[in-house]
Structure 1
Amino acid sequence: MDVRKFALDFDLSPFLFCTDSVRGSRIVRAAVDLGVFSRLAKEPGTAEQVAGSLGISVRGTRALLDGLTALQLLGKEKASYRLLPIAEALLVPGSPDYLGDLVQGSVLDQEWDRLAEAVRNGGPAEGVEAVERQKRAEEFFPLLIRFLHVVNRGPAIAAAHALGAGASHRGLRVLDIGCGSAVWSLAVGHADPEARVTAVDFPGVLAHTRRYVERHGMADRYEYLPGNIQEVSLPESEYDLAILANILHSEGEAKSRRLLGRVAEALRPAGRIAIAEFLPNRERTGPLDPVLFGLRMVLNTEEGGIFSAEEYGEWLAEADFPVVESFEIGSHSPLLVASRGKK
């Protein structure tokens, strides 16, 4: 399989800016609500043509289309607007990677209004029952999986390369813990056609995982282990590589250390642990994205948090994985790869 088929051929930064910016997200949401991207997917058009087909004002349409052009979602030539590849892939309903509903529903920022209360309580705001939080999580998670699958595809390809998948390491037996869309292990699978993966997550999540695996033609190379990652039984000494991508931050320190110990037992003597996480410096003064993500953990979890590479290194050493390397993968933080360092 060609890993290039797994990659995105456009820069994601305009969309990431829109999801992370109040003005940007509101502009994109208005365009989704009005059907602007669907209209331009049919054919390019001037502000007058787009406004006429949608039954909205020319003045407002022109300003909106210019805003979308400035956001690098549309192209403009001689007063005619067209979709750029990023908008065509992510903002036209029916696209495999459609994320318009993520922006449209304002799910990325609705919890931030509760930040002061969450800080006061040291966790999710009081007055929101656990059942209600679970309901919100279940509604949001399918959207989150789609978002993370898109934004992590490039870093996942870089991670597979750093791990030597298909090059220095072939026929990998991979354990994907808290797999979500399986974007990280799918990248390994594309690079190493002989790789086989065991994907671990809640049953409701694995229903979505299967669809992504089938979409990428790897249904016969995956098996599934449903359950809570803290409780599911893992076979001993069976895997060459364990992937923990963007999962430990939600578990917190105690659970993460316990989980790393269990994962270590599931690996062969030469096995490795790959951790993709938000990594602040030890003083938690930067980088900005990881540090601010720590507040997201206060908003949404009881125990979750952000931890430095040094802290993960200490926990990995406890699990008898004392050798830790880091690799830049084009993400907010480097990939950590740990081994026992023994022959």
Structure 2
Amino acid sequence: MSFEPRDAPYPELKNSHTMAHTGRPWTDFKPPPSAPVWAAVEGLGRYYILLAAIELDVFDALQRLGPSSAEDVAADVGAAVEHLRSLLDGVVALELLDQFNDVYELNDTARRYLVSDGPATMAELIAVATGPHDNWTRLAETVRSGCPATPIENDPAAFYVPLVEGTFTTMFRCATRADLKIRYSARSAPLVLDLGAGGAPWAIAILKACPEGRAVINDLDGVLPVAQAKTLEHEVADRCEFRPGDFHTVTLEVDHYDIVVLGHVCRTEGEAGARSLITRAFAALKPGGTLILADYFVDVERKFNPHAVIMGTTMMASTERGFCFTHQQFSEWIREAGFGQLRLVEPIGFQQSFVAVKPR
């Protein structure tokens, strides 16, 4: 009598059981997939494929040339044909270019984020978003010792200048869109304090929406020229005072400002530093003034918002005190400082801000 294999009597068991071995199928469990391990292994290569494409000007070349062969792109950017073809195929695998019949072209993602003049370009951000690359090769030692080998605090301007230049487009888009949630444009002539402003995207967005508004823009001596250049570019420099110094110690007027912005600065400072900045903001605001605190916030279980969680690891890898904190932690610190009317807004995807008011 011959044996004929049959499907399991319960089809749903196929989701977790296999017929790899002779016997009752529901006793043979399928092992977990290795995909998450391979995703981590390939993560390094994925990043450097994209970084090389940016450094070789591949995306801007394809914007200039239109759909092109590897030979045409190689001639334009000055690269070896077969090596460039391999790189282009890698970028296609990342779904950041399209390819058909050996002709490569920009897709919608590349046009928006990876050409240098894209409407939401991240091209300048790619090289600096991860922090100093050497710190990642020493991460295990950083975890053992509790301090990175070369923290960015050793030479902050060298790191922050390209970072704030690279993030300006996204942050300015976020700050501009935030008016739909915060309505700062409804104020007639607000006085804005932008602490650790970087390129001052928040101050610029508010001043452009409020023609009578003025701003005090603070950052380190080596970083402040970026804000000066950006405010000049956006034609609001004549309404700005540039105040150099460490945001923990720079002199601030009391009960003086209508809006205080802490834009993506708290996560570099650790808990004590973040709470100190919130307290300084409260003291500087007029009664009825508004705090805007933008950052990457981790969920309470530290696993459902992987972007923020990995950003926290990035802070740990390259700063002396930096970590990301949860929505709950920030909301508690803001309330403890004395603020009320606390709410969370998300002007654009993955860019959230707490908004709170100093009681009258």
For this structure pair, what is the TM-score category when the shorter chain's length is used for normalisation? Answer: 0.7 to 0.9
Deviations 1:139-171 (A, max 9, x none): 2222211222133233222323221022x3332
What are the ranges of 5 or more consecutive residues in structure 1 without an aligned counterpart?
Answer: 1-19
Q: Which moved more, 1:114-123 or 1:301-310?
A: 301-310
Q: Which moved more, 1:325-334 or 1:89-98?
A: 89-98
> What SS does the corresponding residue of 1:306 show, helix, strand or coil?
coil
Contact 2:124 2:166 survives alignment (8 Å): no
Q: Distance in 2 between matches of 1:104 and 1:49?
A: 29
Q: Distance in 2 between matches of 1:188 and 1:212?
A: 14
Matched, 1:229 2:247: yes
Q: Distance in 1 between matches of 2:165 and 2:99?
A: 29
Matches within 5 A, 1:325-336: 325-332=343-350, 334-336=352-354
Change (3 A) 1:115 1:295: same
| Amino acid in the other structure paired with 2:221 | P
Task: State the 1:253 CA deviation.
Answer: 1.8
Q: Distance in 2 between matches of 1:101 and 1:307?
A: 23
Deviations 1:85-111 (A, max 9, x none): 765787667999683585399856432
Contact 2:219 2:245 survives alignment (8 Å): yes
Give the paired residue count: 317
Task: State the 1:121 CA deviation.
Answer: 1.7
> Which has the higher Rg, Structure 1 or Structure 2?
2
Q: TM-score, normalised by structure 2?
A: 0.76
Matches within 5 A, 1:39-58: 39-44=61-66, 45-53=68-76, 56-58=79-81
Q: Which moved more, 1:208-217 or 1:115-124?
A: 115-124
Q: Distance in 2 between matches of 1:55 and 1:268?
A: 57
Deviations 1:196-245 (A, max 9, x none): 11111111111111111111111112111111111111112221111101
User: Which of the numbers 51, 61, 85 marks the counterpart of 1:29?
Assistant: 51
| Amino acid in the other structure paired with 1:51 | A
| Amino acid in the other structure paired with 1:115 | L
Q: Distance in 2 between matches of 1:143 and 1:309?
A: 28
Change (3 A) 1:66 1:264: same
Contact 1:243 1:274 survives alignment (8 Å): yes
Q: Distance in 1 between matches of 2:80 and 2:111?
A: 24
What are the ranges of 5 or more consecutive residues in structure 2 without an aligned counterpart?
Answer: 1-41
Q: Distance in 2 between matches of 1:332 and 1:101?
A: 16
| Amino acid in the other structure paired with 2:138 | R
Change (3 A) 1:120 1:336: same
Contact 1:313 1:322 survives alignment (8 Å): no
Partner of 2:184: 165
> What SS does the corresponding residue of 1:244 show, helix, strand or coil?
strand
Change (3 A) 1:69 1:214: farther
Deviations 1:7-44 (A, max 9, x none): xxxxxxxxxxxxx9533332233334445345435423
Contact 1:99 1:143 survives alignment (8 Å): no
> What SS does the corresponding residue of 1:279 show, helix, strand or coil?
coil
Matched, 1:202 2:226: no
Change (3 A) 1:291 1:88: closer
Q: TM-score, normalised by structure 1?
A: 0.79
Matches within 5 A, 1:136-175: 137-166=156-185, 168-175=186-193
RCO higher in 1 or 2 (8 Å CA, sep ≥ 6)?
A: 1
Q: Distance in 2 between matches of 1:165 and 1:28?
A: 38
Identity %: 31
Matched, 1:65 2:84: no
Matched, 1:115 2:139: yes
Task: State the 1:115 CA deviation.
Answer: 1.6
Contact 2:287 2:358 survives alignment (8 Å): yes
Partner of 1:239: 257
> What SS does the corresponding residue of 1:228 show, helix, strand or coil?
coil
Q: Distance in 2 between matches of 1:163 and 1:106?
A: 31
Q: Distance in 1 between matches of 2:308 and 2:65?
A: 40
